[in-house]
Amino acid sequence: MKTYALITGASQGLGKALALECANREMNLLLLALPNSGLPQLSHFIKQHMGVDVHHLELDLSVVENYYLIADYVRNNNLKIQYLINNAGVLSRGFFDALDDRFVLKQIAVNITAPTMLIKLLLPYMKSTNNAAILNISSMASFFALPKKQVYGATKAYLTSFSKSLAKELKKDNIAITIICPGGLNTTTRLCYQNRILSWIPRKSVLNPEDAAGIAINAMMKRRELIVPGFINKCLLVLDKLLPRFIKDSLTSQEINKFPAGKLQKLSS
């Protein structure tokens, strides 16, 4: 019986790269993204040119009812989900007091509630599949205290912590959970521009989504627990442990002063 990889946020950026990487590895796909994001066209392209079966669902992952609609779709179409890839995420940069309330609620829903509930609702189907695996896309932001990324970083810290704990429980079911914590990625046009004007070390740490997707899927297939892609990102993590507090504080205050107070930058568009 055919098995499928379910990928959220598959219409663009890292999610689209993950979809193409999985299709290249002959995985059938169930792709998810918001309506009007070009998902039907991407699904059609993959089906026509890459010889795998592709389903797609256009749903808002900040809406609780939609988690149940996804589980219903899987059950009604008898799809055997072998891989669940929680990639959809809402990025942001801005001072907390300037963030729009509804934006914060949506960010928490997409980054925390959606992956948690999709795992919860799809686990029963995955338990009956051999060598099932979950890939959760977290971020380097989950390791640091970052002004202007306070909610975003905290949502990713949740995902990292939740995944590590759940991985221990799911060993008995032979379901692996891999967490990938990328640094900067050249996904949206805005991020590509912002990444280009970074100082040397952060600029060199930025990865293309295609490279990050290859690393992520390799890690999932090898059932690795946590991956930080890129040599410089790994070094930055070690440096964070070694650098004295005052140097880190000085780097942080430079970041605070980069943009005027109160200015919100939504990075996902």
CA–CA distance, 99 with 149 (Å, rounded to integer)? 11
CB within 8 Å of 109: residues ≥ 6 apart: 61, 62, 63, 64
Site stretch for ligand NAP (CB under 6 A), options 8-16, 21-29, 229-237, 253-261: 8-16
CA–CA distance, 242 with 260 (Å, rounded to integer)? 30
Q: Is 168 helix (H, G, I), strand (E, B) or coil?
A: helix
Residue 86: closest CA among 140, 28, 142, 5: 5
Site stretch for ligand NAP (CB under 6 A), options 97-105, 184-192, 226-234, 248-256: 184-192
Nearer to ligand NAP, 91 or 175 (CB): 91
Instruction: Note whether 108 binds ligand NAP by CB under 6 A.
Output: no
Of 4, 6, 7, 13, the one binding ligand NAP by CB under 6 A: 13
Instruction: Note whether 210 binds ligand NAP by CB under 6 A.
Output: no
Nearer to ligand NAP, 127 or 136 (CB): 136
CA–CA distance, 217 with 211 (Å, rounded to integer)? 10
Of 3, 24, 188, 194, the one binding ligand NAP by CB under 6 A: 188
CA–CA distance, 66 with 124 (Å, rounded to integer)? 18
Instruction: Note whether 18 binds ligand NAP by CB under 6 A.
Output: no
Please say whether the dihedral angle defined by the alpha carbons of residues 163, 166, 168 and 174, taken in this order, is positive or negative: negative
Q: Which residues bind ligand NAP (CB under 6 A)?
A: 9-15, 33-34, 37, 60-62, 87-91, 110, 137, 139, 182, 184-185, 187-188, 191, 268
